[in-house]
Amino acid sequence: MEKKVQIKVMDNGSLKVTGDVELVDMDGNQFPVKQVFSLCRCGQSKRMPFCDASHKGVFESCVRAEKELNE
């Protein structure tokens, strides 16, 4: 049974991906991934598209989803 995919926007950091995900480049070539991995959001990683923590101290972003008005 496949695990539901979740992409979590981390404060001042990466996009944490969990679940059964296929990550491919623009040519359709597949990147090796595990059940949990992090994607770079700052553009500083030397392991693109994966996060290598190069963002620490140079990247700030705390994103929150808007709550529904009808809740």
Q: What is the mean predicted confidence (pLDDT) over 35-51? A: 96
Buried b (16+ CB within 10 A) or exposed e, 32-59: eeeeebbbbbbeebeeeebbeebbeeee
What is the residue extent of each domain of the chain?
1-66
Six-digit token string for 39: 């994607």
State residue 58's pLDDT score: 85
Q: What is the mean predicted confidence (pLDDT) over 36-41? A: 97
State residue 70's pLDDT score: 62
- What's the pLDDT band for 40 if we cut at 50, 70, 90? very high
CB atoms within 10 A of CB 21: 17
Q: What is the pTM of this model?
A: 0.84
